[in-house]
Structure 1
Amino acid sequence: MSSLSKLAALTSTNKPTERMPVLFLGHGSPLNGIEENEFVQGFRTQGKQLNRPAAIVVVSAHWETKGTRVTAMKSPRTIHDFGGFPRELYEVRYPAPGNPALAKEISRLVKPEHTVLPDDKWGLDHGSWTVVKHLYPDADVPVIQLSLDYSLSPRQHYALARQLKSLRDKGVLIIGSGNLVHNLDMVEWRRLNEPYAYDWAIEANEKIKGYVLDGDHDSLINFNKQGKAFDLAIPTPEHYLPVLYSLALKDTNEEVMLFNDQPLGGSLSMTSLKIG
C-alpha cells in the first residue's frame, strides 16, 4: 500500500474529496485563537463548506528554517510562540494528530532541486493552530507543517510548492497562513480593532488582490519590484510567502474567492483566499 493510500485509510472514516481546494488565511493576532470576531467567523464558515480532508498541510509564516522541513511526528505539540497575551491563550491545546506517512510523501514529491527533511521537534505554531481550530474544532484531522526555507528566493518557494499539487487529488487540504500586508513596526495600536489602513497599505493590498484575481503570479513573485507601497507592506517576506505556496497550487481555470478582506491597525490585512 502506498504512503498516500495509508494516509487515506488511517486518517478518515469518510471518503475524502477527489480534489481539495487551497486556502490562504490571513491569521492576524494570536488572540484569534480564543476570540469571537468576524475573522474567526470567516474561518468557521470555510470549515463548514469544505469536505472533510484526509489531512492538512500548513505553510506558516512562523516556521522559518535553513532548508525545508516537514513535521513528521505522530502527535505534534501546540506551540505558544508569542508573548504578553492572556493566560487563557497559553492554556489552549489543539491536539490534532500528525501524519508521518504524508511527511514522507512530501519528501518524495519535492525533487530534485530541493530536499525536504523530516522534523520531530517543531509542532503546530500559532500560524497554524489558531486558524485550523476554527476549521476543524474537534482536532480530528491530521495536521502537519511545512517550513519556509529562508535561503530560497520567492520564485524557488513558488516552484517548490508546485510540486505538491498532486496532494490536492488525494484529499489533502493545503493552507498558506500569513498576512498579505504585515508591518508590525507601523501598527496603529489604538486602532488595532478597527478596519483602518494607511494609504500605502490599501494600495498594496488592492494591487496584490488584482494580481491574484488576474492570475499574474509573476508580479506577485516579484513583489520586491512593485514599488514603495509593497516595500512598506512586506518589510520582511515571511508573512507574504505563504500566499505564493497557495497560488502555486492553482490550476489556470480555477476561481479565487476573497474573504475576511479587511485591514486592521493601519498596517495589517486579514485578506484571505479560497482557490478551487
Structure 2
Amino acid sequence: MSKMPVLFIGHGSPMNAIEDNSFTHEWEEMAKKIPIPKTILVISAHWYVKGTKVLEDANPKMTYDMYGFPKKLYQVIYNAPGAVKTAKCVQELLGDTVQVDNSWGYDHGNWAVLHKMYPNCDIPVTQLSVDQTLSAEGHFLLGQKLKPLRDEGVLILASGDVVHNLQRADWNSTSGYDWAETFDHQIRDEVLAGRYENIINYEVFGKPAQWSVPTPDHYYPLLYMIGAADADDKVKVYNDACVMGSLSMTSYLLG
C-alpha cells in the first residue's frame, strides 16, 4: 500500500454531522481523493485531558459531548469497529507516554467528521487524546513519533479548529472577524510553505493568535498533522473559511 496522507479537519459545529453543506461536501471529497485506509487514528480536540491516552476498545461507545442541540444529533450512531491493533501500534511508538483508556469512546470531533467521510462505518477507528499538560512542541513531537503509521495504511486524522473562540462567536455570521481571518490565513501560509516553527510557536502572531486560540485544545491537533508530515508532502487546502466570527473550518490534506 502507498503511504497514507495525514489530515487536519476543521470540524466546526457538531451540527455538520446532520447537515448537508459545502463544508461536509469537502470532507466527502477528501475521502474520495485518498486511498481507502486500513484503519483510522483520530486525534480529537474534544478528548482534552491530563495525559496522552489511546482508545483500545473493540466496540467503542458513542460520546455525545455537547449540549443544547437538536435530538436528531444525539441519535447519530457511528459504530465503526475499534482499531485494536493500531492502538497497540500507537503504544509501541509512544512508549510510556501513552496509557490505554476506554472510558471515553468516539466523541463528536471524531464521529461528526467520519459520519460524512466514511458513512459505511466499515473502517476500524481508534482515538488519541490531546494532553493538556504538554507544550505545543510536545504535541508536535508526538506527531513525529506517529509518522510510521502512515506506511502501515493508517490514516492519521487530526480534528480541531485553527480558530476556536466560542465566547466571541456570532452565531448568525457566515464569515470571520478580521482577526480570525488574519490568523487563519497566517497559519495557512505557514502550512503551505512548510514553515512549521511558527505554527508550533503560534504566539508570535500576537493579538490575532491570542483571540483565535484562547485555549489550545482545538489548535493542538494541527501540530500532530505537521509532526507526521514529510518534507515532500504536497498540501491541499479545503474549506478555507471562517464562520460564526470566531471559528475556522480550514482543513488540510498533506501527502
Supply the distance in 1 between the matched residues of 2:238 and 2:89 (Cα, whole angstroms).
31
Please tell me whether residue 255 in structure 1 is matched to residue 239 in structure 2: no
Offset, 1:224: 2.1
| Equivalences for residues 177-216 of structure 1 within 5 A | 177-191=159-173, 194=174, 196-216=175-195
What are the superposed Cα offsets for residues 189-248 of structure 1, whole Å, 9 maximum, x if unpaired? 222xx1x11111111011111111111111111112320011001111010011110111
Instruction: Supply the AA of the counterpart residue of 2:144.
Output: R
Aligned to 2:97: 115
Residue of structure 2 in register with 1:6 after alignment: none
Which residue is equivalent to 1:72?
56
- Alignment match, 2:252: 273
Q: State whether residues 182 and 269 of structure 1, in contact with CA within 8 Å, keep that contact through their aligned partners in structure 2.
A: yes
Q: Is the 8 A contact 1:47 1:134 kept in 2?
A: no
Does residue 64 of structure 2 align to residue 50 of structure 1? no
Give the number of equivalent residue pairs. 255
Structure 1 residue matching 2:237: 3-state secondary structure = strand
The structure having more radius of gyration, on CA atoms, is: 1
Unaligned runs of 5+ in 1: 1-16
Q: Write the distance in 2 (CA, Å) between the matches of 1:176 and 1:219.
A: 19
Q: TM-score normalized by structure 2?
A: 0.98
Which residue in the other structure is 1:143 paired with? 125
Percent identity of equivalent pairs: 44
SS of the residue 2:197 aligns to: helix
- For 2:117 and 2:244, the matched residues in 1 are separated by 25
Does residue 70 of structure 2 align to residue 97 of structure 1?
Answer: no
Residue matched to 1:238: 217
Aligned partner (choices 33, 37, 46) of residue 62 of structure 1: 46
1:152 aligned residue (134, 142, 167): 134
Corresponding letter in the other structure for 2:209 = F
Query: CA–CA distance in 1 between the matches of 2:37 and 2:85?
Result: 15
Deviations along 1:75-127, one digit per CA (max 9) or x if unpaired, are: 0111111011111110110000002221111111114xx51111121111000
Q: Give the TM-score, by structure 1 length.
A: 0.90
List 4+ stretches of structure 1 deviating above 6 A: none
Counterpart for residue 196 of structure 2? 217
CA contact (8 A) 1:27 1:178 kept: yes
Report if aligned partners of 2:42, 2:126 keep a CA contact under 8 Å in 1. Answer: yes
Structure 2 residue matching 1:189: 3-state secondary structure: coil
Once the two structures are TM-superposed, the CA of residue 265 in structure 1 deviates from its matched residue by 1.2
CA contact (8 A) 1:63 1:148 kept: yes
Contact 1:59–1:176 at 8 Å: present in 2 too?
Answer: yes
TM-superposition CA deviations, 1:139-179 (whole Å, max 9, x none): 00001100011110000110011001110000000001001
